[in-house]
Structure 1
């Protein structure tokens, strides 16, 4: 019962899905509705003006291995997050939203708006005809390996935090099973060794993850007192339960991740994280104001392009996987040379980020662009509509 309670408590922090090494672009329509896994969300339809093309946008682009959807979008648009508005999804082809290396993308125009689609040998005329439904072509099947799909962002940049990190409430791990010791009486253990786990609910032949507690995330409540809003857990190993006696379970470690297992480490059900499948702009009303970067993962205080950061906004405040935000650095306080007053300069837009994993009150995000070093305390806001 205790293990079931822990698992139920964790489900709100995970999004289940296939752990594959390709991130599929899932666009159900060019402008209308988009899909994130099994979740349906509204796409960016707020913009009346067509997305502005980037200077020197190519009329033809051949997709290469190593490309990402964000990079491809940036070749065509000043605002890459508006990509869903210009992608010509072909409803007559199975998985029309997927892009692969070798695909020939054409920049076309439909009713004065830019439109990008995959060339099937009939140029822009064919792309527009299929996009608008003015075709009688039969459905086609394209056979490709899933790991060839062009990713939204590079998986290796976020894999550690996507697959081997989570944030839970202190309440949810109070009764979690923990490492009691090793079978050979060593203090540390790694892949290939056996450990003893104390706690209820573990089942033989089931896989479990071993987590180490990190620095808790805190905030101040209405009375000015510090409140823990989440505890970060980093996976250090995984293993299989082999036998149980009373509340002691023997577990064989099958994998280690950059650290050895210690006494006191937590043992929880191994979950599979859902990879982000699409980026899209955030409406101002969707997420509660006041969002900030509160931690830079793997660094003390400064982040840059390709860094992973933690935001003080989670599903409770309206965040969703795939949302894109602008980053605003806090303006400096300078002394007016004439009045000698201390004046705070305006906050500066220095980049953008995308949320790739959400929890109750916190989220992990990936910095897509940054013109200056990003510091803890930087604000996040919905992208500006102006191009």
Structure 2
């Protein structure tokens, strides 16, 4: 059975002018022959100043039967945005090549090895999750092929589940000034902590003079799978796969059969959420770059969806105007506000969202001209802040 044809919802795309979409790079050739392994992003990134606008380029080509699908061997004529299908043929025709060979926007296979198996779950997911209470032969650690004993698991023999370990929790604070958006934070948690220390405790300490601190969810790392071999309390389960050693206290959650989309369609946002910022990295401490994953402070309730592409900016520094307000002089002392200059934000790179939760989303850095840091903010890639 043929794979489902790629379809692109017009609602995902901004209406832009032909001129805006066709901003070619200086090295764009007159024609380009599609090669095996190409993606529409990789092609567009070579020849378009704004590669996330590749759908508009293909939509302009009304001579192509399906402008959303191209194939190895197709000739892309870049000078005027038209596309021809091999041997110079530009009219509608019957394609003899299997649709399975079509070049998709960004197939999961092209980036799966870069993605991290992290997700955000709600409070009840951890509060009620079964957990590993022991490992066979009283071992301290377990690996694939060994039995673990799970307490609180209601399942049947043969059922499969995911092994997860809490890595942190997200919360946001009331804004410092009225009308500003809430700031989101990530608090790292040691996965070895007991359940009680992991749980977000509702109490007076969650309140500030400006309002309530809001819990957003736990970040957990899915690192393995188990299959139930014996029911009861505790149940026995065989570790069928694990990225690293299983230990007492690891949690068991339902297995997500399809954690990622089969393919990603890069597109500009309908609108960039206010104050959407980099809040965490999944595999670094200080800075990250291309092909690394970041967590961002907005999610599906803010209109973020998979494939959305944002420009990343870093806030400009505040510097001293030492020409008109020399340090140590009375003019600088009596005019502290005027002597300080805030520089404009600096462009960092582009990020594409690949996994979205209610209030947090994960993105893959597609390109960057400088390191991405915690606190950098997202902006509409078609405009400057």
User: Who is 1:192 aligned against?
Assistant: 145
Q: Which of 29, 33, 52 is the aligned partner of 1:81?
A: 52
Q: How far apart are 1:118 and its partner, in Å?
A: 5.2
Tell me, yes or no, if structure 1 residue 347 matches structure 2 residue 348. Answer: no
Encode CA deviations 1:299-351: one digit per residue, 9 max, x unaligned. 11211122211100100111000011111111011111123422221111222
Tell me, yes or no, if structure 1 residue 142 matches structure 2 residue 97. Answer: yes
Going from structure 1 to structure 2, the CA distance change for 1:208 and 1:90 (only over 3 Å counts) comes to farther
Q: State how many pairs are aligned.
A: 331
Going from structure 1 to structure 2, the CA distance change for 1:55 and 1:141 (only over 3 Å counts) comes to same
Encode CA deviations 1:202-247: one digit per residue, 9 max, x unaligned. 23212211001102223213635654322111122112112202x3
Provide the rounded CA distance (Å) in 1 between the counterparts of 2:252 and 2:161: 6
Give 3-state SS (helix, strand or coil) of 1:205's partner.
coil
Encode CA deviations 1:57-112: one digit per residue, 9 max, x unaligned. 1222223344333220122211101100011578986x873445x33332156xxx
Q: Which sections of structure 2, spanning at least 5 residues, go unmatched? A: 176-207, 326-331, 333-338
Going from structure 1 to structure 2, the CA distance change for 1:91 and 1:315 (only over 3 Å counts) comes to farther
User: Who is 2:305 aligned against?
Assistant: 320
Q: How far apart are 1:48 and its partner, in Å?
A: 5.7
Give 3-state SS (helix, strand or coil) of 1:384's partner.
coil
User: Who is 1:106 aligned against?
Assistant: 76
Q: Which sections of structure 1, spanning at least 5 residues, go unmatched? A: 1-21, 29-33, 131-136
Provide the rounded CA distance (Å) in 2 between the counterparts of 1:85 and 1:384: 14
Tell me, yes or no, if structure 1 residue 252 matches structure 2 residue 252. Answer: no
Going from structure 1 to structure 2, the CA distance change for 1:91 and 1:195 (only over 3 Å counts) comes to farther
What is the TM-score when the length of structure 1 is the normalising length?
0.76
Q: Which of 211, 215, 227 is the aligned partner of 1:240?
A: 227
Going from structure 1 to structure 2, the CA distance change for 1:248 and 1:368 (only over 3 Å counts) comes to same
Give 3-state SS (helix, strand or coil) of 1:377's partner.
coil
Q: How far apart are 1:365 and its partner, in Å?
A: 0.6
Going from structure 1 to structure 2, the CA distance change for 1:98 and 1:336 (only over 3 Å counts) comes to same
Equivalent residues in 2 for 1:213-232, closer than 5 Å: 213-221=166-174, 223=208, 226-232=213-219
Equivalent residues in 2 for 1:259-274, closer than 5 Å: 259-271=244-256, 272-274=258-260
Preserved CA contact (<8 Å) 1:295 1:301: no
Encode CA deviations 1:27-58: one digit per residue, 9 max, x unaligned. x4xxxxx24xxxx7332313363421221212
Going from structure 1 to structure 2, the CA distance change for 1:77 and 1:160 (only over 3 Å counts) comes to closer
User: Who is 1:115 aligned against?
Assistant: 81
Q: Which of 156, 162, 169 is the aligned partner of 2:122?
A: 169
The structure with more radius of gyration:
2
User: Who is 2:33 aligned against?
Assistant: 62
Preserved CA contact (<8 Å) 1:106 1:116: yes
User: Who is 2:178 aligned against?
Assistant: none
Q: Which of 264, 285, 289 is the aligned partner of 1:277?
A: 264
Preserved CA contact (<8 Å) 1:177 1:197: yes
User: Who is 2:106 aligned against?
Assistant: 152
Preserved CA contact (<8 Å) 1:190 1:261: yes
Provide the rounded CA distance (Å) in 1 between the counterparts of 2:139 and 2:301: 43
Preserved CA contact (<8 Å) 2:13 2:270: no
Tell me, yes or no, if structure 1 residue 179 matches structure 2 residue 179. Answer: no
Q: How far apart are 1:363 and its partner, in Å?
A: 0.5
Q: How far apart are 1:157 and its partner, in Å?
A: 4.8
What is the TM-score when the length of structure 2 is the normalising length?
0.77
Going from structure 1 to structure 2, the CA distance change for 1:381 and 1:218 (only over 3 Å counts) comes to same
Q: Which of 274, 284, 292 is the aligned partner of 1:299?
A: 284
